Amino acid sequence: MTSFPSRLGSHAKLLGRMIRVCGVDPAQFTHERQGLAFTTVARTCMACRHTETCRAWLDRAGPENLQEPPVFCPNAASFRRARAG
């Protein structure tokens, strides 16, 4: 079983990559609801069970091509809202 600090670190990296690849401005989450939107997105990511699928998707997407959030991502709707507004 993975330790909490290790899981936190790996999910933080995945979340950062997902935000960039999906073309989301991180400030959008940090300003929305006084930062609670970012907390919600981060907690959702931490609870996600698609870690390996996410990592593989991000590796295929590459940082240079903006992508729509993948359907398996529990934060996909939040990313789409952030991109729209």
Q: What is the sign, positive or negative, of the torsion defined by CA atoms of 58, 65, 22, 71? A: negative
> Percent helix, strand and coil across the chain, each rounded to 5?
70, 0, 30
Per-residue model confidence as pLDDT tens digits over 23-76:
998 887 777 777 688 889 999 999 999 999 999 999 998 767 788 999 999 999
